[in-house]
Amino acid sequence: MTARTLRLGTRRSALATTQSEHVAEQLRALGHDVELVEIVTEGDTNRGPLAQIGGTGVFAAALRNALLAGEVDLAVHSLKDLPVAPQPGLVVAAVPPREDPRDVLVARDGLTLGEIPAGGVIGTGSPRRAAQLEALGLGVEVRAIRGNVGTRIGLVGDSCDGVVLARAGLARLGRLDEATEVLDPLQMLPAPGQGALAVECRTDDTDLAELLRGLDDADTRAAVTAERALLGELEAGCSAPVGALAEIVEEEDGSLLISLRGFVGSTDGALELRRSAVGPIDEPERLGAELAQIFLDDGAADAIAPPRQPGPAVDAGHPQPAGPDSTPEGEQ
């Protein structure tokens, strides 16, 4: 493509700029000049529950508007922040290799999840995490929180015994040593797309789209496509209590398959559905849709209604109204 300085739109949080800088460095290594352009989103300034201000789409909307207006040339999102429906005029040109998608616990005194005593407080703004914590029957209180990584970790030992975050965010920020336990997906399935980035540009910027495709990882894209197809077919928003994890597995004959596990539950722990399916790697949308239908046949629609987050919400030590919050990866 013709040499030009690429303007990369990013949220201004430490995690968002770290993720964007990672993509920028890859492009610079290919000989392109890249400058980061910080965009303030409503999700950064409005501290109300995300479901009440538009869901996780509020973190992507400002970046997408800047793209469509020509103010930036590309944007880097945490993939789990993006609504499943495509944005007219834009294309996700690259999904780079994924970080470890699992969740982690950061707890006082180095405690693991099983070591937090009954009545202890675990902080999370995610109905998905809340539902799975309640389903484990640990006897803990799940309290809704919001804030960036530092804010959430700062609540540990103060208003919470521990908080649950995405491992990928801590790894990208160089804070992984603060995790006291990496949670097994058998206990806690991640959000669809967790740990993956999406690099988006305008559909009519064909030269840039072609350049960005060089950053794409086929296995990661197949896996997250299956996960997001499950979410989309369930007609569940990002704040619904839905978890999913797809993994690429190799058969004895060398063929590749996608193994997809999913979770749908209620935030009070009364309903817990875990199902799985396997399909060809080149049909991720079909696999996600088929697993979604299994969930719907088994009563998942009852859990996908807008959930009520248990416990008082906490933001940097200040109460907030309780409500659904999908803890986008920019916030963890």
Chain centroid to CA 205: 27
Q: Which residue has the tokens 């009852």?
A: 302
Please state, in angstroms and rounded to a whole number, the distance separating the CA atoms of residues 251 and 76. 34
At 60, list the tokens.
């992507």
Q: Which residue has the tokens 């300034």?
A: 45
The H helix count followed by the E strand count for the chain is: 11, 16
Torsion angles phi and psi, residue 262, rounded to 5:
-140, 160
Given the residues 81, 103, 161, 205, the one annotated as active site: 81
Please state, in angstroms and rounded to a whole number, the distance separating the CA atoms of residues 96 and 209. 14
Q: What is the sign of the dihedral through the CA atoms of 130, 132, 136 and 137?
A: positive
Angle at 38 between CA 203 and CA 164, to 5 degrees: 95
What does the buried/exposed string (b/e) look like for 35-67 if buried means 16 or more CB atoms within 10 Å of the residue's CB?
A: ebbebebebbeeebbbbeeebbbbbbbbbbebb
Beta-strand runs (E) in the chain? 6-10, 34-38, 74-78, 90-94, 103-107, 121-123, 141-143, 145-146, 162-166, 181-182, 197-202, 242-250, 256-265, 272-280, 313-315, 318-320
3-class SS of residue 320:
strand
Would you call 81 a catalytic residue per the annotation? yes
What does the buried/exposed string (b/e) look like for 321-332 if buried means 16 or more CB atoms within 10 Å of the residue's CB?
A: ebbbbbbbbbbb
Torsion angles phi and psi, residue 213, rounded to 5:
-60, -20
Nearest partner of 46 among 37, 62, 58, 38, judged by Cα: 58
Catalytic positions:
81
